[in-house]
Amino acid sequence: MGTSYDAIVVGAGLAGLAAAAELGDRGKKVIVLDQEGEKSLGGQAFWSLGGLFMVDTPEQRRMRIRDGIDLARIDWMGSAQFDRAEDHWPRQWADAYLDFAAGEMRPWLSDMGMKWFPVVGWAERGGAFANGHGNSVPRFHITWGTGPGVLAPFIRRVREREADGLITFAFRHRVSRIERDGGRPSGVSGEILSPAGVERGQKSNRDPIGEFRFDSGNIIVTSGGIGGNFDLVRGKWPRERLGEPPSHMIAGVPDYVDGRMIGIARDAGAATINEDRMWHYTEGVKNWDPIWPNHGIRILPGPSSLWFDALGNRLPAPCLPGFDTLSTLKHLRTTGYDHSWFILTQKTIEKEFALSGSEQNPDFTSGRWREVLKSRLGKGATAAVEAFKQHGEDFIVRNDLDALVEGMNHLTGGNELDAGKIRAQIEARDAQIRNPFSKDAQIMAIHAARNYLGDKLIRTAKPHRFLDPANGPLIAVRLHIITRKTLGGLHTNLSSQVLDAKGEPVPGLYAAGEAAGFGGGGYHGYNALEGTFLGGCIFSGRAAGRAAA
């Protein structure tokens, strides 16, 4: 292994692979460093559902979705709500990504071999005003092969350049310092960690067995965010907007997503912005078969589950399943409790429940139609959902409501929930089912969802009465706050050059992916529209690689 390279990429996740691929394809000599072992190549993206935010695609048009960049821009800007002077570059990144998502993105990825499930998902639906948060139309394109399917073409590209002698990987190399010469980054140094005999995603040791230094005038930081570091999450938590951080959370990302390199880049002169902007979900459940510490899985719900706070009060619109993540998080932080509840029926779970992640969706991950049809159209919920229903400590299944509420109280060890109070709310909801119209915001949302062919086919249950035994059994799910994404980060311009405190580029220093807020130091603004995390890693990683080349 040499010591001098045209570029150093710190982080072997999706953004790092995209950057390295662009560099290698241009004949540059690159080393990619990662503190984890080779089994973790691809980072967090491996565990994802593989959703990509794209605009006006053939998949959308086949599903009778009328989309375009003007509508997408209204949705993005209404969700982002940019309101700070430092949002100049994040706003520029948002515009650039929208152009990419409505133009070059799909054909470019398709030429690399990527394909997408034909039914486009409708995530983050909003639920307030047309110029506010949310996707007006479905834009969530699930990649065949899920997260591994997104990674595959980039891994193939870098492995080809590795075979050519242009790209070198150095796993178990933890960067602790960006070296500088005359104020300009000149390389990186750190510790070689002891080999880790753990599987992908599992917690690895941090035992040093040696030191290293590599020299380069171009350093690209693609090391991810802070979601695995609860202390950092709580330290950056926007208390004035979202209330006090929860005392109990579960982790939606592996332990190595620790935010360490962001601080190291800051020590080298980089500026960080919008660090109080973050994206955590409220529909997390404890993984009954965990891979990393405090491992949580997010439920991807359809619109029908009834959502109650810890005291048994139904959540108000737009705090509906799958509609407005941060509004729901903000509301729940006012309750004084760290958990909430879904109550639903067997009919609902069979049609509407999905679990986030490649490992929870082996049918999509396989990329085989036979597996998808068998899993999604067969009797019962998917095997992964049924396994959680049977083994997950947060799931309670009973044949009547009184027994269900008794089980809910037993699980939390208190007596906060009153069966009569919950029954009255469900009976009022059930009374709205008799007509194809309603005054209940959630019932109206269900009818609207079923106007979309994709939801009617596979994602939204036919409206039914929850207290009718024919639709049971009843199911309650205790929901936790689950950490996920960092929306702010290293401040970058459109070339992914890292900026200093004065807004000037730090020569030779670049950042991409979650470490850079997916572009600019936070191209989402305050809210994410989903499918924009992987898309942002690809787009910003590509930009960094091309600029550094």
Average the pLDDT over 273-287 and give the result. 98
Q: What is the pLDDT of residue 375?
A: 80
Give the mean pLDDT of the chain.
Answer: 96
Pairing of strands 296-300, 184-193: unpaired
Q: Which of 432, 460, 482 is the last residue of a domain?
A: 482
Instruction: Tell me the percentage of the chain whose pLDDT exceeds 70.
Output: 100
> Residues 320-342: pLDDT tens digits?
999 999 999 999 999 999 999 99
Residue 173 lies in a domain: yes
Say if residues 534 and 50 touch (Cβ distance below 8 Å).
Answer: yes
What range does the domain containing 350 cover?
A: 283-482
377 plus 474 within the same structural domain: yes
Q: What is the pLDDT of residue 462?
A: 95
pLDDT at 134 over 90: yes
Residue 242 lies in a domain: no
Residue 270 lies in a domain: no
Q: What is the pLDDT of residue 177?
A: 98
- Confidence grade of residue 152 (pLDDT, cut at 50, 70, 90): very high
Residue 238 lies in a domain: no
> Residues 358-405: pLDDT tens digits?
999 998 998 888 888 788 777 788 999 999 999 999 999 999 999 999
Q: What is the pLDDT of residue 346?
A: 97
User: In angstroms, rounded to a whole number, what is the distance separating the alpha carbons of residues 42 and 201?
Assistant: 11
Phi, psi of 512 (to 5 degrees): -150, 165
Q: Coil, strand, or helix at residue 349?
A: helix
User: In angstroms, rounded to a whole number, what is the distance separating the alpha carbons of residues 197 and 89?
Assistant: 42
User: In angstroms, rounded to a whole number, what is the distance separating the alpha carbons of residues 517 and 520?
Assistant: 7
537 plus 417 within the same structural domain: no
449 plus 501 within the same structural domain: no
Tell me how far the alpha carbon of residue 405 is from its chain's centroid.
32
Residue 263 lies in a domain: no
User: In angstroms, rounded to a whole number, what is the distance separating the alpha carbons of residues 485 and 477?
Assistant: 23
Average the pLDDT over 496-518 and give the result. 98
175 plus 288 within the same structural domain: no
Tokens, residue 169: 């990987």
Residue 235 lies in a domain: no
User: In angstroms, rounded to a whole number, what is the distance separating the alpha carbons of residues 458 and 117?
Assistant: 12
416 plus 384 within the same structural domain: yes
Say if residues 100 and 523 touch (Cβ distance below 8 Å).
Answer: no
C-alpha atoms less than 13 angstroms from C-alpha of 401 in its C-beta half-sphere: 20
DSSP state for residue 45 in the 8-state scheme: G
Residue 274 lies in a domain: no
456 plus 502 within the same structural domain: no
Residue 90 lies in a domain: yes
Q: Which residues face 298 on adjacent strands?
A: 284
Q: Which of 459, 482, 505 is the last residue of a domain?
A: 482
Domains in the chain: how many in total? 2
63 plus 211 within the same structural domain: yes
Say if residues 86 and 273 touch (Cβ distance below 8 Å).
Answer: yes
The CATH number of the domain holding residue 389 is 3.90.700.10
98 plus 198 within the same structural domain: yes
The CATH number of the domain holding residue 32 is 3.50.50.60
Tokens, residue 140: 């969530």
DSSP state for residue 72 in the 8-state scheme: H
368 plus 464 within the same structural domain: yes
User: In angstroms, rounded to a whole number, what is the distance separating the alpha carbons of residues 136 and 119?
Assistant: 16
422 plus 383 within the same structural domain: yes
Q: Which of 427, 462, 482 is the last residue of a domain?
A: 482
510 plus 462 within the same structural domain: no
532 plus 460 within the same structural domain: no
